[in-house]
Structure 1
Amino acid sequence: MRQACILLLLAFMTACTYTAKITDGATAVDRKQYDVAVPMLQREYKKAKSRKEKGEVAMNLGAALRETGQDEKALDWFQLAYDNSAGPEALREKAAALKRLERYEEAINVYTDLGFEIGSKYEFRRDISGAELAQTWLDAEKAGKDRAFTVAPAEFNSRQADYAPVPFEQRLIFTSDRSAAAGDETFNWTGRGFTDLFVVDLDGSNSVTAFDDLINTVDHEGTPTFSPDGKQMIFTRCTAPAKREDAYCGLYVSERVGEGWSSARPLPFVKPGANYMHPALTADGKRLFFSALLEDGWGGYDIYVTDRKADGSWGDPALMNRAINTQGNEQFPSIDADTLYFSSDGLEGMGGLDIFRTHPLKNGRYAVPKNLQIPVNSGADDFGFSVVNREGSGLSATMTGYFSSARPGGAGSDDIYTYTRRVLPPPPVDPTPIVYKNVLDVTVVEKIYEDPTNPSSRVLGVRPIPNATIIASVGEQSRTVNTDEEGRLSLVLVDDQAYQFRAEREEYLAAEGRFSSLNLPKDPDAPNQRYELELELDKIFRNQEVVLKNIYYDFDKSFIRDDAQPTLNNLTALLKRNPDIRIELGSHTDCQGRAGYNQTLSQARAQAAVDYLVQQGIDQSRVEAKGYGKEQLIEECICERCTEEQHQRNRRTSFRILE
């Protein structure tokens, strides 16, 4: 599933670039053209002379192999990267690959060593506990423990990516980039085509045909859902306004016209410049669940729900609660009766995305999500769960359907699997009265820098800050407390409250966070639940450059582009949280061009960034613009021989705290 742009699983990735001029492997990785990057990086590694260069190339090659579903090969390159001074991040990637390959004990050892190396056991605690739990499930599976599910690969899988199966009128609609997909262009992430919808008959013939021509286009299409009467379809389409612009995914609707479908239009609530995907309608067609990456979310992709109004239009989408949505990614919702299935890499699981299920309780609450475990879930990404049929009742009942997985051993990159689920005997009832309790652990942390004196050096992880001050607010009430020696404050939550937190410590910039206890579960099967919130404080480094990421300018221009605004908005929020600091905003060019021209351009760019902050309400006296031209390059390379990645690192916007 990592192979398709339509899924967009990277937490900080907001779009995929369709076309770009690529001259080196690092740039190919940066532009997410991983299939293009692999052979380029293999050649570059052979030519690399220094350990630093070898480490950088090996790290990029490991990432490219990871993103094209080649974890076994990626392991060796991440180890080579670490051996050539790429730092702890290379071992972190190796450990994650080991989890995806279900080599949990090895992964635990690597995570443990990493904790000692960077000086923070806290950083990898969830990785280790997840691997320990997965190993327990794996051991139970090997011991022949009675299980509810049996699975097998579907016979219609191809050597390409096949995923997200959805039943529709005795057929199965699924997403694939197999060679029959529309369009002739190659998607450089995967080296294959763009995704389309396909149909397979469930009569045993396994005959696969392309879906409607008006739906399948040269863009990405996938993950449909159908109204109860079969007359309306909502699906995902990822488009770019122009060939060299970024593509975003939206939800589109189409009506049935005879045996075909009408041209699709986006749903009205879909905002431009954001990603919406994976729609799922309830059986009555009155509710729509979907996954989106939006500013009001809890982190990564979250699941939203919207209700159909009496006039047929959709209401404003609502973010589902924190028991379901995490700071990771929640995607691929599907509905069977009152049960919600979805995939998450933020809830505790076996590695990658795991499939979970939950169901409504009273008063709009949902049960604590339950991991479907082995054999439905694996160390790889597992997603797109659908129910096709039920037979029998009671303990003799069975349920059959399909799901998709990137696990090794399949026919292609992502494959579709069939499953049969039978009902297991219920556990004995505990007569003890149930007491419900939800606890939030708020932990104040700081970055661990490779060079503790340099905020622009590599970040190795985070560690707790003991005895930090936390101001916790609910409505008009607030209280101030200090964290313990582990940097933690544990708080018993009151139902249906919006909590605001502010963390402070001398010589650090203040941080803020939020948590909602709205509709948290009261689940008899799991009455005690713990949730986590991190508040990250940035240490104050006076007169030291801090590079602002994702601020780019058009060639020979100084205006602030739309894609730079989120970073500057974050800086605005930081300044408002810390009203006593004054900063310099600096702009730097690369080594190319005349010095005088670069100086003038960089000053104009720095001033444009300052003007943007002032427009957002920051006092002019607190921000100062400084253009450096090419005076302070951070990449040591001969200008004519610098790679595009090195030029890009030199073309940076930064800030420094003056007082």
Structure 2
Amino acid sequence: MSKYHFLLTAILMAFFANSCTYTEKVRDGATAIEVKQYAVAVDMLQKEYEKSKSRVEKGRIAYRLGEAYKNLNKGEQSIRWFKIAYDNQYGWEALKEYAYALKQAERYTEAARAFKDLGIEIGSPYEYRREISACEIALGWQELKPEFEIELLPFNTSKAEYAPALYPNGRLVITSDRFLEKGEETYNWTGNAFSDLFIADPQTGQLQPFGDPVNTPDNEGTAVFNANLTEMYFTRCFGGGKWGEDRCKIMRSVKGSGEWMPAEPLPFQEENVNYGGPALSADGQVLYFSANHPDGWGGHDLYTSERQPDGSWGLPKLMTRVINTDQDEMFPFIDQDTLYFSSRGHTSMGGLDIFKTYKLQGGGWSSPYNLKPPVNSGADDFGFVIDYSLPKADDEVLFAGYLTTRREDGAGNDDIYRFVKRKLPPEPKKEEPEPQEVAYKLLLKGYVLEKIYEVPNDPNSVVLGRKPLSGATVSIKAGRESKTVEVGEDGRFEMELDWGQEYNFLASRQGYLKNAADFSTQGIGKDPNNPVQEFEIEIVLERIFFDQEIRLENIYYDFDKWDIREDAKPTLKELARNLELNPDIRIQLGSHTDCRGSAPYNQNLAQKRAQSAVDFLITQGIDATRLVAFGYGESEPEADCICNRCTEEEHQINRRTTFKIIE
């Protein structure tokens, strides 16, 4: 997957990597990987591999070569080197990368076998069961007669071209990170320019910048226009910090005196949430978009907003669970009553796949339908738009349009293709069975899981995956009704759901922290093509490690400061949620400083930092008697470095906050 995909995935995942320029000369392959100079890394690592003597060293270098080729979009080479890394004892990480690389290369039989081996390796066949199933399904899809034809457009280059939007006179407005002019600043994650909007002619291949004031030094992309071309909506990612720190917002620009005016973010957008991929209904009254809001179903979800009588946009509404999953849904395109979008959560052929759903007569949306190959592939497929103005070559053509994909047979990066949808030949007539009344059902499979740690009794070690947890009970509330069920040996419980109902689940087991999940059947329609719809939820329980420090990720403090930064609040809010679900536990919030400054000063600073975390939890409604603040100062550094030789990153690691359950 491309790194610059807000616009593919910073919608998906906030935006990219560090924007600081790396000026020192790269002297080894590991550093080249770290600073994203993958082409440089390949040459260095090849030489280092030839000189390496031990299997462990060979495995480590081979894994980095796999990483480099993966980011250069050279799938077969990445497969080869991840396999070499695994064979040379690099471990489960190499096997995982190998399995996903095989899937993206559409080598599904080998991928399914690798995923099966990976499940055995980490101790949980459960973890990759969906991937194995998806590989088997994709194999069957490859045997079907294709409904679409696709062709690469002439303006694609080795840079990124993606997310086409329809524009007058047969033109497109696309997103690209190609350079506008020589000497332009480079965006270090990609090694290319910051992304901008361009006007492209699919027939001639000519391209020109969309221009000021829409394009700025920030990243712009994924545009959409209203029918009379007086409004445009697009995504802009502000900032340039580490991955996850940029904030992506949907911008609106209006045309005044024939020119596009400076864009403003839509007012309903919240801080610390990424928005992107806007789409408009034909009448311009409904806006579709994606956002990674914490109140969503998981990952990036699709939302709608309705235009108000005063022309403003109403508060976002989360789309139904039949569309949104616990993974990513994004890049919507609405065609009358049919919604096209890309998803990782529904069964896909590799990365993002393009799906369609339509509004049902009785309300709600139909079950999403995978468009299958050649529209979808093992790569990321997204940015699907229909252009009814395109001429039809013959009467068998239903419609045509454009999509984005990142396949190895393209121009070398994300590329835009033209597609044509044709009529399929009629199937042989079958004797029609007598019509029967359709029995509609909604079935839910729930799983209670626990994490698998690389070091079994160390909750700060790497999480290898999850496995089913037997012996748990689940309390279920739906309206005024409630019941409790016990999960089986496979950690599973099953139930039939009512239509238009909200469900709350609370799972518990002795020795574990309770955890909750929600599920809603609101907006799920009765689909005659899929009368029995099945859904899944997963509830992960954390084992209780008494009197053992557990690091709280993403809670850092600025040098010589103790206030809670904005980027720390989501983690502390999640901790507050866990404390609410487990009212019988007390915790100690611990704070550690780096080694700069005197020991007494650092002790005092650490105490202030720990107290700041406690005070924040109190503002979230947690009883102060359940919280203890303790400052460790510099006494227990995590980074293994001599103080005057520690890097700024190592100092930041030492400025950490932890918690431990004390009763």
TM-score (norm 2): 0.90
Equivalent in the alignment of 1:318: 317
Task: Note if contact 1:212-1:260 (Cα within 8 Å) is conserved in structure 2.
Answer: no
Alignment: residue pair count: 651
Equivalent in the alignment of 2:213: 214
Once the two structures are TM-superposed, the CA of residue 578 in structure 1 deviates from its matched residue by 0.6
Once the two structures are TM-superposed, the CA of residue 268 in structure 1 deviates from its matched residue by 1.7
Question: Any idea what the Cα deviations from partners look like across 1:142-163, whole Å, max 9, x if unmatched?
Answer: xxx4321011111111221001
Rounded Cα–Cα distance in structure 2 between residues aligned with 1:531 and 1:224? 33
Q: 1:43 to 1:608 in 2, by over 3 A?
A: farther
Output aligned runs, 1:27-38, within 5 Å: 35-36=36-37
Question: Any idea what the Cα deviations from partners look like across 1:199-237, whole Å, max 9, x if unmatched?
Answer: 1235x3222111132111111111111111111111111
Rounded Cα–Cα distance in structure 2 between residues aligned with 1:24 and 1:591? 29
Residue type at the aligned position of 2:633? G
Rounded Cα–Cα distance in structure 1 between residues aligned with 2:365 and 2:393? 24
Equivalent in the alignment of 1:136: 140
Question: Any idea what the Cα deviations from partners look like across 1:589-612, whole Å, max 9, x if unmatched?
Answer: 345554333333222211211121
Output aligned runs, 1:23-102, within 5 Å: 35-36=36-37, 39=40, 46=48, 62-63=66-67, 66-67=70-71, 69-79=73-83, 82=86, 87-102=91-106
Equivalent in the alignment of 2:530: 526
Equivalent in the alignment of 1:417: 417
Rounded Cα–Cα distance in structure 2 between residues aligned with 1:520 and 1:29? 49
Task: Note if contact 1:395-1:424 (Cα within 8 Å) is conserved in structure 2.
Answer: no
Q: 1:24 to 1:450 in 2, by over 3 A?
A: farther
Q: Are 1:489 and 2:493 an aligned pair?
A: yes
Equivalent in the alignment of 2:296: 297
Once the two structures are TM-superposed, the CA of residue 551 in structure 1 deviates from its matched residue by 0.5
Rounded Cα–Cα distance in structure 2 between residues aligned with 1:474 and 1:413? 48
Classify the secondary structure of the residue corresponding to 1:209: strand
Q: 1:558 to 1:60 in 2, by over 3 A?
A: farther
Equivalent in the alignment of 2:336: 337
Q: 1:21 to 1:574 in 2, by over 3 A?
A: farther
Rounded Cα–Cα distance in structure 2 between residues aligned with 1:159 and 1:416? 12
Rounded Cα–Cα distance in structure 2 between residues aligned with 1:537 and 1:350? 30
Rounded Cα–Cα distance in structure 1 between residues aligned with 2:562 and 2:243? 20
Residue type at the aligned position of 1:423? K
Equivalent in the alignment of 2:222: 223
Query: Of 469, 494, 498, which aligns to 1:465?
Result: 469
Query: Of 460, 480, 493, which aligns to 2:484?
Result: 480
Equivalent in the alignment of 2:617: 613
Deviates more, 1:262-271 or 1:367-376: 262-271
Rounded Cα–Cα distance in structure 2 between residues aligned with 1:367 and 1:479? 30
Residue type at the aligned position of 1:402? Y
Residue type at the aligned position of 1:399? F
Task: Note if contact 1:468-1:504 (Cα within 8 Å) is conserved in structure 2.
Answer: yes
Equivalent in the alignment of 1:442: 446
Rounded Cα–Cα distance in structure 2 between residues aligned with 1:453 and 1:645? 27
Equivalent in the alignment of 1:384: 383
Classify the secondary structure of the residue corresponding to 1:448: strand
Equivalent in the alignment of 1:509: 513
Q: 1:634 to 1:95 in 2, by over 3 A?
A: same
Once the two structures are TM-superposed, the CA of residue 75 in structure 1 deviates from its matched residue by 3.5
Equivalent in the alignment of 2:636: 632
Rounded Cα–Cα distance in structure 1 between residues aligned with 2:39 and 2:622? 45
Classify the secondary structure of the residue corresponding to 1:383: strand
Once the two structures are TM-superposed, the CA of residue 99 in structure 1 deviates from its matched residue by 1.0
Question: Any idea what the Cα deviations from partners look like across 1:95-117, whole Å, max 9, x if unmatched?
Answer: 11221111212211111111112
Task: Note if contact 1:182-1:217 (Cα within 8 Å) is conserved in structure 2.
Answer: no
Question: Any idea what the Cα deviations from partners look like across 1:96-139, whole Å, max 9, x if unmatched?
Answer: 1221111212211111111112221111100110111112222x
Deviates more, 1:379-388 or 1:14-23: 14-23
Q: 1:196 to 1:393 in 2, by over 3 A?
A: closer
Once the two structures are TM-superposed, the CA of residue 91 in structure 1 deviates from its matched residue by 1.8
Task: Note if contact 1:161-1:414 (Cα within 8 Å) is conserved in structure 2.
Answer: yes
Once the two structures are TM-superposed, the CA of residue 44 in structure 1 deviates from its matched residue by 8.7
Residue type at the aligned position of 1:620? A
Task: Note if contact 2:153-2:205 (Cα within 8 Å) is conserved in structure 1.
Answer: no
Deviates more, 1:641-650 or 1:105-114: 641-650
Question: Any idea what the Cα deviations from partners look like across 1:377-397, whole Å, max 9, x if unmatched?
Answer: 000000000111277899834
Output aligned runs, 1:31-430, within 5 Å: 35-36=36-37, 39=40, 46=48, 62-63=66-67, 66-67=70-71, 69-79=73-83, 82=86, 87-138=91-142, 140=143, 145-170=144-169, 171-180=171-180, 184-202=184-202, 204-240=203-239, 246-389=245-388, 396-425=396-425
Classify the secondary structure of the residue corresponding to 2:308: coil
Task: Note if contact 2:387-2:401 (Cα within 8 Å) is conserved in structure 1.
Answer: yes
Task: Note if contact 1:16-1:31 (Cα within 8 Å) is conserved in structure 2.
Answer: no
Identity in percent: 46
Deviates more, 1:155-164 or 1:306-315: 306-315
Q: Are 1:587 and 2:588 an aligned pair?
A: no
Question: Any idea what the Cα deviations from partners look like across 1:453-478, whole Å, max 9, x if unmatched?
Answer: 22112211111111310000012221
Rounded Cα–Cα distance in structure 2 between residues aligned with 1:208 and 1:311? 37
- Unaligned runs of 5+ residues in structure 2 are none
Task: Note if contact 1:542-1:658 (Cα within 8 Å) is conserved in structure 2.
Answer: yes
Q: 1:29 to 1:70 in 2, by over 3 A?
A: farther
Question: Any idea what the Cα deviations from partners look like across 1:296-330, whole Å, max 9, x if unmatched?
Answer: 11111111111112222211111111111111111
Classify the secondary structure of the residue corresponding to 1:421: strand
Rounded Cα–Cα distance in structure 2 between residues aligned with 1:609 and 1:84? 44
Rounded Cα–Cα distance in structure 1 between residues aligned with 2:648 and 2:69? 21
Question: Any idea what the Cα deviations from partners look like across 1:404-457, whole Å, max 9, x if unmatched?
Answer: 101112113100011110122566666343211111111000001122222112
Task: Note if contact 1:196-1:222 (Cα within 8 Å) is conserved in structure 2.
Answer: yes
Task: Note if contact 2:11-2:248 (Cα within 8 Å) is conserved in structure 1.
Answer: no
Once the two structures are TM-superposed, the CA of residue 485 in structure 1 deviates from its matched residue by 1.5
Classify the secondary structure of the residue corresponding to 2:556: coil
Classify the secondary structure of the residue corresponding to 2:555: coil
Classify the secondary structure of the residue corresponding to 1:174: strand
Classify the secondary structure of the residue corresponding to 1:365: coil
Query: Of 540, 551, 558, which aligns to 1:554?
Result: 558
Once the two structures are TM-superposed, the CA of residue 29 in structure 1 deviates from its matched residue by 11
Deviates more, 1:255-264 or 1:48-57: 48-57
Once the two structures are TM-superposed, the CA of residue 364 in structure 1 deviates from its matched residue by 3.3
Question: Any idea what the Cα deviations from partners look like across 1:515-548, whole Å, max 9, x if unmatched?
Answer: 1111113211111221111000001111112111
Q: 1:392 to 1:161 in 2, by over 3 A?
A: closer
Q: 1:327 to 1:360 in 2, by over 3 A?
A: same
Residue type at the aligned position of 2:499? D
- Unaligned runs of 5+ residues in structure 1 are none
Rounded Cα–Cα distance in structure 1 between residues aligned with 2:362 and 2:393? 28
Question: Any idea what the Cα deviations from partners look like across 1:164-191, whole Å, max 9, x if unmatched?
Answer: 1111112111111112279821111110
Residue type at the aligned position of 1:191? G
Q: Are 1:578 and 2:582 an aligned pair?
A: yes
Rounded Cα–Cα distance in structure 1 between residues aligned with 2:495 and 2:242? 50
Deviates more, 1:574-583 or 1:85-94: 85-94
Q: 1:432 to 1:644 in 2, by over 3 A?
A: farther
Residue type at the aligned position of 1:221? E
Rounded Cα–Cα distance in structure 2 between residues aligned with 1:394 and 1:360? 29
Classify the secondary structure of the residue corresponding to 2:542: strand
Q: 1:339 to 1:29 in 2, by over 3 A?
A: farther
Rounded Cα–Cα distance in structure 2 between residues aligned with 1:335 and 1:347? 19
